Amino acid sequence: MDVLFDPPQSEWERILRSLGRAVLYTVAAFIVIVAAALLYDRAVNRSAAPSAFGYSALVVATGSMSGSIEIGDLVIVQKTGDYRVGDVITFLPAGSDVTTTHRIIRTEGNLYYTKGDANASEDTAPVTRGQIVGEVVAVVPGIGLFFEWLKTPDGLLFAGITVALAVAFVFVLRM
């Protein structure tokens, strides 16, 4: 009968293994907390742009900002409250439940006039402060396509298998 034998680990190996576990658990906890915050914001506040810790992540669906932001890019948006000409903002047009990301080209009092960089003319209606989701603070090229794919049946299957493998990996590490 074969007996599995795990040779004694050196002090450094034990420290590195413990550190690895701590990092893994910290990252996993952070992901769970962010996901819970986003789900809560989406479900309770019925938010078109759910946010966690003041930030929203949205996928660009049109080419209106082509040249600076492309279709499939992921934009990270932060509600700042201080918006100026030249800022790229994400807002919810009146009567719509779909966000728009455009550049502020001029202001008049509390009204913001916007235009997509690739559009020939400015947007027809001005944007009020209450319609603004936030200012674009980062753009992650192309990754939004992956997140959109995750919403498909194949993507959900992939995500489920990945989570199952990650859980199995954690249990193997504990052995």
6 is catalytic: no
Task: Provide the pLDDT for residue 17.
Answer: 81
3-class secondary structure, 102: strand
Query: Stretch 81-104: mean pLDDT, rounded?
Result: 92
> Does 39 have pLDDT greater than 90?
no
Query: Stretch 29-34: mean pLDDT, rounded?
Result: 78
10, 102, 117, 121: the active-site residue: 102
> Does 5 have pLDDT greater than 60?
no
In this predicted model, which residue has the larger pLDDT, 35 or 131? Answer: 131
Query: Stretch 16-23: mean pLDDT, rounded?
Result: 84
Task: Provide the pLDDT for residue 43.
Answer: 66
**Least confident segment among 22-36, 41-55, 124-138:** 41-55
Q: What does the pLDDT look like over 42-79, one tens digit per residue?
A: 666 666 677 777 888 889 999 999 999 999 999 999 98
Q: Residue 122, Cβ neighbours under 10 Å: how many?
A: 15
The order of strands in the sheet holding 132-140 is 51-52, 55-59, 74-78, 132-140, 88-91, 100-108, 111-115, 127-128
123 is catalytic: yes
102 is catalytic: yes
Q: For the chain, what's the residue count?
A: 175
51, 56, 73, 123: the active-site residue: 123
Task: Provide the pLDDT for residue 114.
Answer: 97
Q: 31 pLDDT band (50/70/90 cuts)?
A: confident
CB 97 within 8 A of CB 41: no
51, 56, 64, 73: the active-site residue: 64
Q: What does the pLDDT look like over 132-174, one tens digit per residue?
A: 999 999 999 988 888 788 778 888 888 889 888 888 877 776 6
Q: What is the mean pLDDT of the chain?
A: 85
Query: Stretch 6-33: mean pLDDT, rounded?
Result: 79
